[in-house]
Structure 1
Amino acid sequence: MIRLAKKEDLNRIDELAVSVINTMKEQNIPQWNLSYPRKEHYEKDIKNGTLFVYEDDIILGVIAIAEQNDLPYEELSNWTDEFSIVIHRILVEPGLRRKGIARKLFNYAIDLSIEKGFTSIKIDTHAENYIMLNLLKKMGFEKVGYLKSIDRVAFELNWGEK
């Protein structure tokens, strides 16, 4: 089940974040570290009503779905759509990867976007995060460019007119 995150979820979300960060470190993916993303970042998402969790008895996945572009996204002028949702801080329990949890979170974001009248989703990831790069490709996201200020590759999924 996917639902809006609550403040009471923060300890489990932070525990999951540490697990994901440590797994990324073991896999030599330098995207995150033990200072980001952590409890304070997810707490802000909860206050903004932009954090959702996937749970099956316990929280196994997390996704932030924002309705505004981040400043670094303005570096690129070749987005196909400015009216978009932005996805951030996706977590999936490392031992449960490749079980469809991330896909369910992405599909939830797509459904929510369509419901709210958006026609695209933007996301960025580290160039060495091969797990996310593969998922983005499978989900139909197209590479838009490189965000130099944050050292990330930007992607977009557009179902509106191009």
Structure 2
Amino acid sequence: MATSADDFKQALQLWASGVAIVTTQSEQYGVRGMTVTAFSSVSAQPPQILVCINQSADTGENINASGLFAVNILNANQQDDSNNFSGGNNQEQRFANAHWEMGQFGTPLLTDSIMSLECKVVEKVAAGTHWVIIAEVQAAISRTGEPLLYYRGAYRQLNDA
């Protein structure tokens, strides 16, 4: 018997993670983006990552349409961007409130993030309420700054103690 959803969520709050925003663009839907909690590296050769996107999210529809997306890892000063892309605002407002530019592979890149990866979808697997999307990294951009972290339902920052 599987654990309850509440127990599962409570346990996962103990996993500290960076905060990522997935962005994408297609001719059909324009620019789309959302804050995600499930992002991971998969392989160094070839360079692959995975993200998990709720099947009902319009950002996922856009990834299906274009086959491309970017993962933007937020810096410690981007709590507003995380909140902006996590709901409430429509897609037009999300991008109007963020600093971004189009990447070389046609994906929106958040220019204040500490890292952006432009990715091409390799495989998509249904898992419960989400899609697990595995992608090959086409370009990696690293910038300066400290990461924004999320732990026990709150934003955190690194402490050099």
TM-score range relative to shorter protein = under 0.3
TM-score, length of structure 1 as denominator length: 0.27
| Higher RCO (Cα < 8 Å, 6 or more apart) | 2
Whichever structure has more strand as a proportion of its residues is 2
TM-score, length of structure 2 as denominator length: 0.27
